[in-house]
Amino acid sequence: MSDRDVTVIDFGTGNLLNVVRALEHCGASVRVIDQATQVSTMPDRLVLPGVGAFSDAIAELNVRGFDDLIKRYVDTGRPFLGICVGAQLLFEVGEEYGVHSGLGLIPGRVQLIPAVDSVGRSLRVPHIGWSNLVRPPMRAAWDDTILAAVKPGESMYFVHSYAPVPTHEVHRLADTYYHGVRICAAVARDQIFGCQFHPERSATMGLGILSAFLKF
Protein backbone atom coordinates (compact mmCIF):
# COMPACT_ATOMS: atom_id res chain seq x y z
CA MET A 1 0.00 0.00 0.00
CA SER A 2 1.39 3.39 -0.99
CA ASP A 3 1.58 6.16 1.60
CA ARG A 4 0.56 8.64 -1.09
CA ASP A 5 -2.58 7.22 -2.69
CA VAL A 6 -5.90 8.59 -1.40
CA THR A 7 -9.37 8.56 -2.95
CA VAL A 8 -11.69 11.39 -1.88
CA ILE A 9 -15.45 11.07 -2.25
CA ASP A 10 -17.25 14.04 -3.80
CA PHE A 11 -20.99 13.79 -3.17
CA GLY A 12 -21.75 17.45 -3.75
CA THR A 13 -21.76 18.69 -0.14
CA GLY A 14 -18.14 18.40 0.91
CA ASN A 15 -15.43 20.92 1.77
CA LEU A 16 -13.67 19.27 -1.12
CA LEU A 17 -11.08 21.73 -2.37
CA ASN A 18 -9.54 22.44 1.04
CA VAL A 19 -9.39 18.74 1.87
CA VAL A 20 -7.72 17.85 -1.42
CA ARG A 21 -5.19 20.67 -1.09
CA ALA A 22 -4.36 19.69 2.49
CA LEU A 23 -3.84 16.04 1.53
CA GLU A 24 -1.65 17.03 -1.41
CA HIS A 25 0.33 19.31 0.91
CA CYS A 26 0.98 16.20 3.03
CA GLY A 27 2.32 14.40 -0.03
CA ALA A 28 -0.75 12.44 -1.08
CA SER A 29 -1.64 11.55 -4.64
CA VAL A 30 -5.36 12.33 -4.62
CA ARG A 31 -8.10 10.96 -6.84
CA VAL A 32 -11.58 12.51 -6.57
CA ILE A 33 -14.66 10.46 -7.47
CA ASP A 34 -18.29 11.60 -7.63
CA GLN A 35 -19.96 8.28 -8.46
CA ALA A 36 -19.41 4.85 -6.93
CA THR A 37 -19.31 3.37 -10.43
CA GLN A 38 -15.93 5.06 -10.94
CA VAL A 39 -14.33 2.51 -8.60
CA SER A 40 -13.25 -0.74 -10.25
CA THR A 41 -10.81 -1.85 -7.53
CA MET A 42 -10.84 -0.84 -3.89
CA PRO A 43 -8.71 2.26 -3.11
CA ASP A 44 -5.80 2.15 -0.68
CA ARG A 45 -7.37 4.87 1.48
CA LEU A 46 -10.77 6.53 1.38
CA VAL A 47 -11.73 9.99 2.68
CA LEU A 48 -15.29 11.28 3.07
CA PRO A 49 -15.42 15.05 3.68
CA GLY A 50 -18.74 16.79 4.22
CA VAL A 51 -20.44 20.01 5.26
CA GLY A 52 -24.11 20.86 5.69
CA ALA A 53 -26.99 18.76 6.98
CA PHE A 54 -26.86 15.04 7.76
CA SER A 55 -30.17 14.48 5.95
CA ASP A 56 -29.00 15.99 2.66
CA ALA A 57 -25.61 14.31 2.88
CA ILE A 58 -26.87 10.75 3.41
CA ALA A 59 -29.49 11.17 0.67
CA GLU A 60 -26.88 12.29 -1.85
CA LEU A 61 -24.45 9.60 -0.74
CA ASN A 62 -27.09 6.94 -1.32
CA VAL A 63 -28.14 8.29 -4.74
CA ARG A 64 -24.55 8.10 -5.95
CA GLY A 65 -24.09 4.56 -4.68
CA PHE A 66 -21.45 5.46 -2.11
CA ASP A 67 -23.28 3.89 0.83
CA ASP A 68 -22.70 0.37 -0.48
CA LEU A 69 -19.18 1.17 -1.68
CA ILE A 70 -18.12 2.51 1.73
CA LYS A 71 -19.52 -0.52 3.55
CA ARG A 72 -17.73 -2.93 1.20
CA TYR A 73 -14.56 -0.86 1.48
CA VAL A 74 -14.39 -0.87 5.29
CA ASP A 75 -14.98 -4.64 5.25
CA THR A 76 -11.54 -4.95 3.62
CA GLY A 77 -9.90 -3.38 6.70
CA ARG A 78 -8.41 -0.50 4.74
CA PRO A 79 -8.15 2.94 6.40
CA PHE A 80 -11.12 5.30 6.16
CA LEU A 81 -11.44 8.93 7.32
CA GLY A 82 -14.66 10.91 7.66
CA ILE A 83 -14.49 14.67 8.21
CA CYS A 84 -17.25 16.77 9.85
CA VAL A 85 -20.55 15.53 8.34
CA GLY A 86 -18.50 12.74 6.78
CA ALA A 87 -17.71 11.59 10.33
CA GLN A 88 -21.35 11.91 11.40
CA LEU A 89 -22.48 9.67 8.53
CA LEU A 90 -20.53 6.78 10.08
CA PHE A 91 -23.21 6.46 12.76
CA GLU A 92 -26.50 4.59 12.81
CA VAL A 93 -28.85 7.57 13.04
CA GLY A 94 -28.76 11.32 12.47
CA GLU A 95 -31.40 13.60 14.02
CA GLU A 96 -30.93 16.70 11.87
CA TYR A 97 -34.17 17.68 10.04
CA GLY A 98 -35.87 14.48 11.14
CA VAL A 99 -34.51 11.03 11.92
CA HIS A 100 -32.36 9.51 9.18
CA SER A 101 -30.39 6.27 8.93
CA GLY A 102 -26.63 6.63 8.54
CA LEU A 103 -24.04 4.13 7.38
CA GLY A 104 -24.19 2.22 10.67
CA LEU A 105 -20.44 1.62 10.87
CA ILE A 106 -20.19 2.89 14.46
CA PRO A 107 -23.03 2.44 16.98
CA GLY A 108 -24.60 5.70 18.08
CA ARG A 109 -26.58 8.76 17.06
CA VAL A 110 -25.81 12.25 15.79
CA GLN A 111 -27.62 14.78 17.98
CA LEU A 112 -27.95 18.54 18.40
CA ILE A 113 -25.34 20.12 20.64
CA PRO A 114 -26.95 21.18 23.93
CA ALA A 115 -28.09 24.80 23.85
CA VAL A 116 -27.47 25.27 27.58
CA ASP A 117 -24.59 24.38 29.87
CA SER A 118 -24.74 22.43 33.13
CA VAL A 119 -25.99 25.47 35.09
CA GLY A 120 -28.58 26.56 32.54
CA ARG A 121 -26.66 29.28 30.74
CA SER A 122 -27.38 29.59 27.02
CA LEU A 123 -24.74 28.42 24.56
CA ARG A 124 -24.28 29.66 21.03
CA VAL A 125 -25.14 27.00 18.47
CA PRO A 126 -23.51 26.33 16.06
CA HIS A 127 -20.20 25.78 17.77
CA ILE A 128 -17.72 27.70 15.64
CA GLY A 129 -14.03 28.22 16.32
CA TRP A 130 -11.00 26.65 17.94
CA SER A 131 -11.48 24.16 20.76
CA ASN A 132 -9.07 21.95 22.68
CA LEU A 133 -8.93 18.19 22.25
CA VAL A 134 -8.86 16.00 25.34
CA ARG A 135 -8.57 12.25 25.77
CA PRO A 136 -11.74 10.53 26.99
CA PRO A 137 -11.41 8.56 30.24
CA MET A 138 -11.13 5.23 28.39
CA ARG A 139 -8.25 6.47 26.18
CA ALA A 140 -4.93 6.17 27.97
CA ALA A 141 -3.06 7.29 24.84
CA TRP A 142 -3.50 8.19 21.19
CA ASP A 143 -0.70 5.93 19.98
CA ASP A 144 -1.53 3.98 16.82
CA THR A 145 -4.31 6.41 15.87
CA ILE A 146 -4.49 9.44 13.59
CA LEU A 147 -3.98 11.60 16.72
CA ALA A 148 -0.62 10.03 17.58
CA ALA A 149 1.26 13.33 17.14
CA VAL A 150 -1.38 15.44 18.95
CA LYS A 151 -0.90 16.43 22.56
CA PRO A 152 -4.01 16.78 24.76
CA GLY A 153 -5.01 20.42 24.94
CA GLU A 154 -4.09 21.31 21.38
CA SER A 155 -6.82 23.09 19.44
CA MET A 156 -8.69 22.17 16.27
CA TYR A 157 -11.19 24.16 14.21
CA PHE A 158 -14.90 23.29 14.54
CA VAL A 159 -18.01 24.41 12.65
CA HIS A 160 -21.08 22.36 13.60
CA SER A 161 -24.47 22.28 15.31
CA TYR A 162 -24.72 18.49 15.61
CA ALA A 163 -22.22 15.97 16.93
CA PRO A 164 -21.97 12.19 17.24
CA VAL A 165 -22.83 10.47 20.50
CA PRO A 166 -21.24 7.00 20.37
CA THR A 167 -23.09 4.20 22.11
CA HIS A 168 -19.83 2.75 23.40
CA GLU A 169 -17.15 4.86 25.07
CA VAL A 170 -14.44 2.75 23.45
CA HIS A 171 -15.25 4.40 20.11
CA ARG A 172 -14.56 7.91 21.43
CA LEU A 173 -11.12 8.92 20.24
CA ALA A 174 -11.20 12.53 21.46
CA ASP A 175 -13.56 14.98 23.14
CA THR A 176 -13.77 18.71 23.38
CA TYR A 177 -15.58 20.82 25.97
CA TYR A 178 -17.74 23.70 24.79
CA HIS A 179 -18.26 25.91 27.86
CA GLY A 180 -18.19 22.77 29.96
CA VAL A 181 -20.42 20.67 27.69
CA ARG A 182 -18.76 17.45 26.54
CA ILE A 183 -18.76 16.99 22.76
CA CYS A 184 -17.33 14.02 20.88
CA ALA A 185 -14.58 15.43 18.65
CA ALA A 186 -13.19 12.27 17.03
CA VAL A 187 -14.09 8.60 16.81
CA ALA A 188 -12.34 5.38 15.86
CA ARG A 189 -13.20 1.74 15.27
CA ASP A 190 -10.43 -0.46 13.92
CA GLN A 191 -9.12 1.55 10.92
CA ILE A 192 -12.27 3.69 10.61
CA PHE A 193 -11.64 7.23 11.83
CA GLY A 194 -13.87 10.28 12.03
CA CYS A 195 -13.13 13.90 12.96
CA GLN A 196 -15.97 16.26 13.87
CA PHE A 197 -13.47 19.12 13.53
CA HIS A 198 -11.82 20.13 10.25
CA PRO A 199 -8.18 18.96 10.11
CA GLU A 200 -7.78 20.69 6.74
CA ARG A 201 -8.54 24.01 8.48
CA SER A 202 -6.61 23.31 11.68
CA ALA A 203 -3.17 24.60 10.67
CA THR A 204 -0.06 22.55 11.40
CA MET A 205 -1.66 20.12 13.84
CA GLY A 206 -4.47 19.38 11.41
CA LEU A 207 -1.98 18.63 8.67
CA GLY A 208 -0.21 16.34 11.12
CA ILE A 209 -3.43 14.36 11.54
CA LEU A 210 -3.80 13.96 7.77
CA SER A 211 -0.15 12.93 7.52
CA ALA A 212 -0.73 10.32 10.23
CA PHE A 213 -3.72 8.97 8.30
CA LEU A 214 -1.50 8.51 5.24
CA LYS A 215 0.71 6.16 7.26
CA PHE A 216 -2.09 3.65 7.88
Contact, 171 vs 187, CB < 8 A? yes
Catalytic, out of 84, 96, 154, 171: 84
pLDDT digits (tens, 9 = 90+) for 129-170: 999 999 999 999 999 999 999 999 999 999 999 999 999 999
pLDDT at 6: 96
Average of pLDDT values for 176-191?
93
Q: Active-site residue 84, yes or no?
A: yes
Residue 75 backbone class (left: φ over 0; alpha: ψ -120 to 50; beta: rest): alpha
Catalytic, out of 100, 127, 171, 198: 198
Quote the CA–CA distance of 175 and 172 in Å, as a whole number.
Answer: 7
Quote the CA–CA distance of 93 and 111 in Å, as a whole number.
Answer: 9
Catalytic, out of 26, 100, 127, 200: 200
Is pLDDT at 124 greater than 90 in this prediction?
no
Q: Active-site residue 92, yes or no?
A: no
For the chain, give the percent of residues with pLDDT over 70: 97
Q: What is the pTM of this model?
A: 0.94
Confidence grade of residue 2 (pLDDT, cut at 50, 70, 90): low
Q: Domains (ranges, CATH) in the chain? A: 5-214 (3.40.50.880)
Quote the CA–CA distance of 94 and 83 in Å, as a whole number.
Answer: 15
Other CB atoms within 10 Å distance of the CB of residue 51 = 16
Is pLDDT at 202 greater than 70 in this prediction?
yes
DSSP-based three-state secondary structure for 6: strand
Q: Active-site residue 179, yes or no?
A: no
Contact, 183 vs 163, CB < 8 A? yes
Neighbour order of strands in the sheet with 100-101 = 100-101, 91-94, 106-112, 162-166
pLDDT digits (tens, 9 = 90+) for 69-89: 999 999 999 999 999 999 999
